[in-house]
Amino acid sequence: MPFRVRANEQMDVDYDEVYARVIAPAVDDAGLRAHRADEETLGGVFHKTMFERLALCEYAVADLSSANPNVFYELGVRHALRPWSTVLMFRDGVPLPLDVAEATAIPYTARIMDDAAEIALLRSNLTRRLVDARLRRTDSPVHQLVAGLPVPDVDHRRVDLMLDAIERESEVAQTIASAAKSGIETLRQVRSELGAMSEVESESVVGLLLAFRSVNGWQEMIEIVDSMAPELAEVWLVQEQQALALARLSRFDESVEILNALIRRRPNAESFGLLGGTFKRHWRAVRGVSPLRSVGLLNRAADAYKRGFEIDLRDPYPGVNAVTLLRRAGRTDEADELAPVVRFCVRRRLALPDPEYWDYACAIELALLTRESGVVERYLADLVTDMSELFRADTMLEGLEDMEALMLDPEARRDLSTVRAEVEARRAELMDER
pLDDT tens string 63-85: 988 777 878 888 889 999 888 89
Integer Cα distance of 364 and 419 in angstroms = 9
CB atoms within 10 A of CB 332: 10
Q: Which residue has the higher pLDDT, 277 or 38?
A: 277
Residue 165, amino acid: A
Boundary-marking domain end, from 120, 152, 184: 152
- The band of 96, judged by pLDDT with boundaries at 50, 70 and 90, is confident
Residue 193: band (very low, low, confident or very high) from pLDDT cuts 50, 70, 90 = very high
Assess contact for 65 and 94: CB atoms under 8 A: yes
Average of per-residue pLDDT across 14-19: 86
Q: How confident is the model at residue 385 (pLDDT cuts 50, 70, 90)?
A: very high
Q: What share of the chain is helix, strand, coil (3-state, %, to 5)?
A: 70, 5, 30
Confidence tier at 39 by pLDDT (50, 70, 90): very low
Say if 224 falls within a structural domain: yes
Question: CATH number for the domain including 15?
Answer: 3.40.50
Q: How confident is the model at residue 8 (pLDDT cuts 50, 70, 90)?
A: very low
Q: What total number of domains does the chain contain?
A: 2
In a domain, 215, yes or no: yes
Q: Is residue 173 situated within a structural domain?
A: yes
Residue 155 confidence (pLDDT): 62
pLDDT of 263 above 80 = yes
Regarding whether 72 and 57 lie in a shared domain, the answer is yes
The residue among 372, 370, 364 whose CA lies nearest residue 395 is 364
* Together in a domain, 36 and 135: yes
Q: Based on the domain organization, do 184 and 122 belong to the same domain?
A: no
Mean pLDDT of the 52-61 span: 83
User: Do 164 and 132 belong to one domain?
Assistant: no
Same domain assignment for residues 128 and 200: no
pLDDT of residue 2: 65
Average pLDDT over residues 371-397: 95
Q: Which of 35-49, 177-191, 342-356, 361-375 has the lowest mean pLDDT?
A: 35-49
> How much is the pLDDT for 428?
96
Domain presence at residue 112: yes
pLDDT above 90: residue 423: yes
Across the chain, mean pLDDT equals 88
Cα–Cα distance measured from residue 32 to residue 195, given in angstroms and rounded to the nearest whole number = 33
User: How far, in Å, are 21, 57, 85, 157, 434 from residue 213 at the CA level?
Assistant: 31, 33, 40, 37, 15
pLDDT tens string 110-158: 888 888 999 999 999 999 999 998 888 888 888 888 888 887 666 666 6
Residue 6 β-bridge partners: 13
Q: Do 215 and 96 belong together in one domain?
A: no
pLDDT, residue 48, reads 64
Least confident segment among 4-8, 136-140, 214-218, 348-352: 4-8
Mean pLDDT of 199-211: 90
Q: What is the pLDDT of residue 3?
A: 57
- Cα separation values, 403 from 274, 285, 420, Å: 19, 16, 11
User: What is the predicted pLDDT for the residue at 328?
Assistant: 96
Comparing 100 with 39, the larger pLDDT belongs to 100
Residues 228 and 206 in one domain: yes
Rounded-to-integer distance, Cα 358 and Cα 211, Å? 17
Q: Is residue 377 part of a domain?
A: no
- Do 218 and 135 lie in one domain? The reply is no
Are 102 and 124 contained in the same domain?
A: yes
Q: Of 152, 183, 211, which one is at a domain's C-terminal end? A: 152
Question: Which one-letter DSSP state was computed for residue 199?
Answer: G
In angstroms, the Cα distances linking 293 to 210, 211, 284, 298, 329 are 32, 34, 11, 9, 13
* Predicted confidence (pLDDT) per residue in 285-317, tens digit: 999 899 999 999 999 999 999 999 999 999 999
Under 8 Å CB-to-CB from 193, ≥6 apart: which residues? Answer: none
At which of 152, 174, 204 does a domain end? 152
Whether residues 177 and 107 fall in one domain: no
Q: Is the pLDDT of residue 371 over 70?
A: yes
DSSP 325-378: HHHHTT-HHHHHHHHHHHHHHHHHHHTSSS--HHHHHHHHHHHHHHT-TTHHHH
Confidence category of residue 10, pLDDT binned at 50, 70, 90? very low
Do 146 and 178 belong to one domain?
Answer: no
Nearest-angstrom CA–CA distance, 346 and 365? 11
Q: What is the mean pLDDT of residues 312-328?
A: 96
Is the pLDDT confidence value at 163 over 80?
no
Label residue 203 by pLDDT band (50, 70, 90): confident
Q: Is the pTM of this model over 0.85?
A: no
Domain interval for residue 79: 5-152
Q: How confident is the model at residue 44 (pLDDT cuts 50, 70, 90)?
A: very low
On whether residue 217 sits in a domain, the answer given is: yes
> Based on the domain organization, do 18 and 109 belong to the same domain?
yes
Quote the pLDDT of residue 179: 93
Which one has a higher pLDDT value, 312 or 434? 312
In a domain, 431, yes or no: no
Residue 280 lies inside a defined structural domain of this protein: no
Has residue 402 got a pLDDT over 60? yes
